[in-house]
Structures are given as structure tokens and as C-alpha cells.
Structure 1
């Protein structure tokens, strides 16, 4: 109503909402749950559209798991479909709908996990790369590679994309879809099901890691774990800023 030009103070008086409370709500930073729901909602809408507006919440939940390896409850999918104003058609579907990847124009993500060997231990890094611009979207590091390492990197990528929009908590258009590299799967950091990157995705990842190795070679003591933990984020930050 405020966007339509109605006086904010008068609307708040009618609704019984305090003016300070309204502005605090409007400026509030979205929570991690809100960001994830915004991201999932865009995936749901994309799958629904690719099905010819026929899939219900059960089939959409199945497709989210099959395409992206994401485990989400039926209730969450049904809730987000309701918020998006979409619903499935009754009856069984005939034929098979070809999978598509939700994406913003000219962007697709690829997720990789790399183990950096040090003199006394290892350091694992999960990265999310935009394969079209070949830029680093987000990353996370820890001593062992696991699904939580990847989840943190993806959550940061999601938060980055939502925060880039002018309206907090709202994603515009279709967000980037993502695939996992063979290396992430072999390290058991990727889901058993989901999209595997193609030869181009893998080539982009290898070029990125080659640049990282060159940058690390310029730092003495980079083979020491503590030193590596300090320098690797600095290098990632530099690559992320080159946009």
C-alpha cells in the first residue's frame, strides 16, 4: 500500500502497527531461514514452470532432490508453493519432463571441494564458482571435507545473491542453478543424486585452482597449515572482488 502512494502513517494507524516497529521490520536483515526459503521458492517456481504448471508439491519435492540433491520436507514445499500462488494439477502425469537448471541469465554455479596438503595436516576448501563469468561467488574452509562444508559455501552464495537485490529478502527472476564436480562427489561432499558438472564446468574449476596455486606459491610458508588458513581466504577474497 505504501508503494502505491498511500500515507504510511495513516496505514499504520488503521492496522494498529507502531511506526517505529514498521520501519524496524522494513530495515531488518533477512534471517538464514528466510534467505533459504527465498532461494528454494525460486527453484520451486522454476521446476513448476518447466513441468507446464502441472507438478504438485510431492513431485516438486522429488525433483528438488533428484536435480540438486537437496532434502526438503513436503510441508516446506507446500508452504512455499502457496506463498508463490501456484498449485499442481490432480491426476497422474504421463511422459517424462526433461530436467532444466534454474538460472539467472548468463550464470550457472559449480560447486567443488579441494584438499590442500600441508606439512602437518590438511585444509579443505569448498568453492562456488559462476561458470559463465568464471568468478568466485563464495567459499568455506575447514580441516575436513564434508557436506556441512558445502552447505556453508552454498548458504553464503544464496545470501550474496539475495542481498544483491534492491528489496531485502526478495530474489528477482530465476536464481542460478548449480552442479557438483566429480571431485566433490568422490570426497563424499556432494549428494548421491543431483546434477554433475560437464567438461566446461570442470575446466573452469581447474583454471581457478591453478590460479590459486600460483598465488600460494608467492607466499613463503604456505605449506604450513596455520599460514595456509591465513592466506587462502585472502586469495579467495581477492578473486571474489575481481568482478
Structure 2
């Protein structure tokens, strides 16, 4: 200890005075706050970064700065799961005849079932892929329909649409925005859209930002669920996706675009 004190150029008495000194009030408050932060972080299964943890604390009536939350999380090495999404358009999709992109023409939705957005992503399972199709209400960001399949085809897209139609019962005039995938351009899919009076809007070639809300959902899903778990089979994956969407994403997950409410909370508050 004497050699260490000499190296640091401090006295032995000064070192022992520092070591035996009680924690400051701020340090005690930080320790108490960190416990609350860890509880929220654990409840989100590591999905929340400091902005959402800060908003969750505010909703619980705690007065604290966002910078302080970020500092404590950084010191405790509590980081949100993140995932980059890469997509490459197949040449055949780019060659398809385009439908109008109504999203560029319309104002943002102001209520339920005015504008939906749909897309498909793949989930690696062993040496094969399982495909997930989802439909999202652009007003509340709520996932209103989804389906899983080993096959990427119109049947998968229609299965997700059927769930959404059954749950939401939209009036004619709804706009459904999709990418240029053949599963959405198929005659069977077009017949369903015509039957329910749904206008089909399509993204521009290579512009995944036209469908940014669903892309954001896929990014969250893969970071917060898929890449953190192993799934023995399709049934197990389906059960976990159902739990993630129905229990967490739609009902609990805070969305910055919704003033830090969940989609269900946002719809009920309207």
C-alpha cells in the first residue's frame, strides 16, 4: 500500500480517509435510480436503450434527466439490442409494372384503418428460411396481421391480410402500401384487395424508405427476439413471434413516434 500511495503521490492517511468516507447523497441517489433502470431494462428483456428507459421512468412519475439515465446505463453497460437490416431488390421485382405510390400523394393518416403497410422478411432456420409477412397500421404502428410460412408466395401475404381484415374490419377505401414483391402483385392477392375495396399502393424501385415503418419493425423484431433465441421448429418460432407482437410490441413497447406510448395505448388515448 505504501508503494502504491507513493506512486499516486497521495498520503496513506488521505487514502484511508477516502476509502472510509461514506457515499455522497448523489451517489446514493444514483444507486437507487440504477435499480429502477435495471428493473425497466430487464422487463424489456434488454430491448430498451436510454431514451425509452427515460420515458418509462417519467411515466412512473420519476423526475430525472435523460443524460443522467444515459450515464448510469453506460456505466452499468446496459445497451439496447440493435440490428442492421440489409435488403437487396431482385431484378425481377424492379421490372414489374408499378402501381401508384399513394403514400407520396396522401397526407399522414389521422385514424385507424386509413393506411396500412405490408412487407415480408426472412428468418434463417437451420439451412432453410421461414418467411414472416406482417401488416402494420401506419397511424398507430400496430401490427394488425401476420403469418409465417416456409414458402414466399401470395398465400403467405393473403394469410396476413386475412388476419388483419378479420380483426380490424376496415371500410372500403383503405390504402395498403407494399413493396414490389410478386407475392403482392399476384392475381390472387389483387382479387382480395378488390373484394374489400382496398387501394394498392406500391413503393418506388429500390426505395425501401417508402415502407420505413415496417422495416423498422423488422429491425426491432430481429434485434430483440430472433437473434437472441434458438427455435427448434416453426411452431416454437410462431409461439415466440405471437408473444412478442401481441404481448410486448403492440401493448408495451414504447414508440418515440407515438410520444412514447405503445400502439394499443396510442389507439385508446385517441
Tell me the TM-score normalised to structure 1 length: 0.46
Query: Which of structures 1 and 2 has the bigger CA Rg?
Result: 2
Higher RCO, 1 or 2 (CA under 8 Å, sep at least 6)? 1
